[in-house]
Amino acid sequence: MSWMDDISSKDYVIVDNFLRDELYTEIKSFFLGKLPNFKEAGIGAHSENQIDTKIRGDFTYWLDRNRDAHLKTYWELLDETMHIFNRYCYLSLSGYEFHLAHYPSGGHYDKHLDQFENRSNRMISMIIYLNDDWKPGDGGELEIFEKDGSSFLVEPLAARCVMFKSAEVPHAVLEAHKSRFSLTGWLLYQPSSVGKLYV
């Protein structure tokens, strides 16, 4: 797979039209229906988790495969994606954790890595965008920082998927100028039952 070659050589890959139209519509409808249940996102893991809107300004809803079982096709897609990584990249992935993320107007997330010193089970970060009719000026771009210190922006286009090595790719979310929606999570070396990380 060409995108496996990209993530092996560049540490990240961008895949457009990652979701079929029917699955995109199903997930987006589910997302909008759950908006009243979203909670302000914090930074830090477990007892260290705290709200700091100067660093991060999104709201999240954590997914659960048992509770959200009607998203069957989505869970099967994650299983398939994890299998592909294990087959072609030899990562020994064995679980995942995902949440819905809503950045309201003004929301952003400063530069960071998706990994912690005391928890290193996140291997691959995965973002699927759910923004219909996104256009320049709407904000909310993902900024990816290269090893040479340069960076580039990824537009949060509908059904676009961005995957990158969680411990290797610093990134940020630029300020959104209207609601920005995504399905965000991590493919894990150990299952999510060991406990969620909240950034």
- Per-residue pLDDT tens for 97-142? 999 999 999 999 999 998 866 666 889 999 999 999 999 999 999 9
19-74 tens-digit pLDDT = 999 999 999 999 999 999 999 986 655 445 555 567 888 999 999 999 999 999 99
Residue 116 maps to which CATH number?
A: 2.60.120.620
Task: Tell me the C-alpha distance between 114 and 164, whole Å.
Answer: 10
Q: Is 198 part of a structural domain of the chain?
A: no
Q: How many domains does the chain have?
A: 1
Q: Is 199 part of a structural domain of the chain?
A: no
- What's the chain's Rg over C-alpha atoms? 16
Residues spanned by the domain of 61: 2-193
Nearest to 60 by CA among 194, 190, 185, 187: 185
Q: Is 29 part of a structural domain of the chain?
A: yes
Instruction: Dig out the tokens for 70 from the structure.
Output: 């009607």
